[in-house]
Every structure is written in C-alpha cells, then in structure tokens.
Amino acid sequence: MRLSYPDTIAARIGATIVTCVAAMVAISAVLIYLEGASNGEVAEWIAQGRVINAVQILNAGPKRERATLAAALNTPAIGVLLRDAPAIAKSEEIGFRPHRFGQLLLAHVADLHVAPLIADRSSLPEAEDPFAHELPAQPGDLLVQVALPQGQWVLLNVAASNFKRSWQRFALRLGIWFLIVALLSVLAARRLAEPIADFGRAAEQLGTGQDVSPLAERGPRELRVATRAFNKMQERLRRFLEDRTRMLAAISHDLRTPLARLRLRAEFMEDEEQRAQTRADLDAMSEMIRATLVFARDDAQREQANLVDLSVLVADICDDLAELGGDVSFAEASHVSVRCRPTAVGRAVANLIENAVKYGGCARVQLLSEAHGVAVVVDDDGPGIPLDEQEKVFAPFYRLEQSRNRDTGGVGLGLAVSRTIAREHGGDVKLFNRTPCGLRARLELPAQQSELQSGKRRSATALSGC
C-alpha cells in the first residue's frame, strides 16, 4: 500500500516535526528499557532505598518517638509497623530478591548485626500476617522483619508493585508529551506556511489578470525577499502596460496626420483603379491601427472579476450573433458559475464564434464541465486549418491567405485576443481539425475558476456533424 505524502507546506513541516518527535520518543523508550534491563529494575532500586531509609531512621531514633516516625513512614508502597515481639520466626525462601534486601540492609544500616527475616507475605497464614488488618495481601508482596535496638522490631510490607515496571504510566506520560509537542508543531507549521499561501494566491491572481494589492513582507527572511521581489515585479508590469498603451496611443495619433494626407492625395489620382486600391490600403491601415489600440487598451485595463453564470453568458452571445444572421446554435448546458472578467471572456467567446461563422459557415457551441475545469467548444463545417498553421494563427495579424482575405473582414487579431484572455484566466485556447471536415476551437478555463451547479438552463439544437 502506497502512503500519500502531505501536499501542503504546513502539513509537510508538521508531519516532519511530528515524525522526528515520534522517533525520538521511541528511541528514548527503547534506551530506557535497555538501561533498566541491564542495570536492574529501576523501580526496585527505589523500593530498596525506601526500605533502607525507613530502617535507618527507626534504628537511629529514640524508642519513644519510633511510633510517630513509623506512622510518618507508612505508605501503601512500603507499609511500616512496630512490634515489641517478632512476628515471624524464620524467613520463607522465595528467591533472589529477598536475600538481596537482607544484604543491603546489613550493609547500609549501622548497628544492625542480626540478619533481617524476609518472607513471601502471601505464603503466611492470615492469622500470622501482621498487616492483615492494615493492607490486603497481594501476590508478590514481601514481609521484612528487622530487629531494632531496645527490644523492638519493625515490620515492613514491600508491595509487589515496587518490582513491576509501570510501562502504562510511562507510555501515558510519553503520549501526553508527544501530543503537546505535535499540536505545537502543527500550529507553528501553519503559522509559517500562511505567508507562503498568501504568496501563492497573489501569484495566481496576478497570473489570471486580477489586481493584487502589494503583499505584506512577513515570515522568514527568504520569504520576505521573495515577497519584495514579487511586489516590485507587479509594479514593473503595471508600468510596462501603461507605457505600452501610451506609446501606441501616441503612434496612432502621429499616424493620423500622414494617413489624412495620403487620403487627400489619393483623391487627386486620375486612374480610378489606382485610386480605389489606395483607398482600400489606407482603410486597411486605419483598421489595423484601431484594432491594435483596442487590443492594447483592453490588455492594460483590468476589469473586475465577478462570479458569472457562463452558460447564460455564452447563450446570450449566441443569441446576439444569430439575430445578426449568423448560423449559430447553442446546445443545452448545465449552469456553471465562473469567476472571471465577464466582458473579456465574452469577447474571447464571441471571437471564436465569429471566426467559425466567417470561415466555417456555421457555429455549433456547447459548454462542457470537465474534471479539470470548464470548456466552451465551437465547431464549424469549414476546411479546417493545416496542422503546421494551427499555432501560427494565434500570432497577432497572422492570416491564412487562402481563406482570410480583406473581403471577409478582420485583421488577424481575433484568435490572439481570445488566447490572451484565456491565459490571463489561467486557461487556454486550442484548435483541432474535425473528421471528416471542420474545425473545433476550445476555450478552456481551469477548475479553480469554475463551480458546477445543478440544473439545466435551456434546451437547444443538438450538435451534429458536417
């Protein structure tokens, strides 16, 4: 089974930190386990220390104060009782640990010359168990009897829990610590990734032609440097578009005077045919200049993006062109809401439909909702475009001589404008030859631009082949 790696920066940072912490916890647990196994039970060390301390205190204390000291030392883990007579006469051999307790007591308690008696408490009859009324006996409990000065004996109940490793408690503590570190790591990762997410959204908006406010320079130093560069780039692009528009406007203004002079001179030509050709050339020049200015102005002006029902927009364009006499049909379409610049997208769609009518005789339009976005498809019944020309026709002012002459209208900017608008929205315009004849133009918008809604707008003529 293949595990999927987190896709966002915040998730990856958080996962990396959590994984490292988990590995550190696991390694620490293993080391603690190995340390305890090699050097003896850690919990048993603690129990041994408690027993030795209790016997040392009672052995050194005055007889009249031992009862108070015994009460203070008595705990569920190490029970302490004082007796004026011994409770057990001999030890029950129950293994290595009781002998070790006896040896440690003899070695650490001063003036202790009598070996302690150590028994397995569960092996004693209940009537002989001095702790029967104090602490219930548990399997593994040890009973330690030590002779004190001045004719007293101390009895200690060493609970079996002292010899067991509390892995449950240890695991619980590690788990709580791990969860706290993991939560803090995720919060820190999300905070670190916020400026990166803002940067990505701003870049996406800029790439789709939307106005973007300058980003706040925050986050790590590398990200602040990238944000500063992004803001400068955005400002340079804005100035470039403004300068280009002003330059083209100035060129257009300067060309009007010589064009007017040429028109005046053409009127004095005696040859009627030459005069007509000159007028046609001057009209073509004027139209090219006008189209260039419109193209540059629309590219520089950024219309506000809104949520638009693309099916209604495309249907209205088809209706308008059909009323002007074009053979245009629109297939039924689901409602698709698209965040776009409606005037610009409408112009791109209209250019594709007008080209289909002019050069293919008809336009059959459909709106498709796909996995990666939405597409406006325009089919015609024309001769199509040769494969080696299909990219060239998107260049400004490029014309196919065999079909696109001045008599049909246009200056070769329609497809260039449509593709520019589509790419500003993060999409594209593509051309495909149909079989056996015709051309298909696809205006595509990405998934993040569209939102499919239920329902049908209307019914229309079904698409048919040529």
pLDDT at 456 over 60: no
pLDDT at 429 over 80: yes
- Which residues does residue 366 pair with via DSSP β-bridges, in sequence order? 377
Q: What is the pLDDT of residues 56-81, one digit of tens each?
A: 888 888 888 888 888 888 887 788 88
d(CA 203, CA 60): 80
Q: What is the pLDDT of residues 382-427, one digit of tens each?
A: 888 888 888 888 887 777 754 444 455 556 778 888 898 888 888 8
Helix (H) or strand (E) holding 164: none
> According to the model, what pLDDT value does residue 448 have?
55
For residue 151, name the pLDDT band (cuts at 50, 70, 90).
confident
Mean pLDDT of 359-380: 90
pLDDT at 378 over 90: yes
Q: CA torsion sign, 283 to 287 to 293 to 297?
A: positive
In 3D space, the residue among 440, 443, 444 whose CA is nearest the CA of residue 360 turns out to be 440
| Amino acid in position 60 | A
Mean pLDDT computed over every residue of the chain: 76
> According to the model, what pLDDT value does residue 39 have?
42
pLDDT at 171 over 80: no
> According to the model, what pLDDT value does residue 465 have?
45
> According to the model, what pLDDT value does residue 75 have?
84
3-class SS of residue 143: strand
**What single string gives the DSSP state of each residue in 298-309?**
HHHS-PPPEEEE
Higher pLDDT, 140 or 356: 356
d(CA 121, CA 215): 76
For residue 439, name the pLDDT band (cuts at 50, 70, 90).
very high
Higher pLDDT, 210 or 198: 198
The strand ranges marked E within 286-427 are 306-309, 328-330, 334-340, 363-370, 373-379
pLDDT at 113 over 90: no
For residue 458, name the pLDDT band (cuts at 50, 70, 90).
very low
pLDDT at 253 over 80: no
Mean pLDDT of 19-34: 73
pTM confidence score = 0.49
Q: Are 382 and 359 in contact (CB under 8 A)?
A: yes
Q: Are 155 and 136 in contact (CB under 8 A)?
A: no
Helix (H) or strand (E) holding 67: helix 66-73
| Amino acid in position 21 | V
3-class SS of residue 123: helix
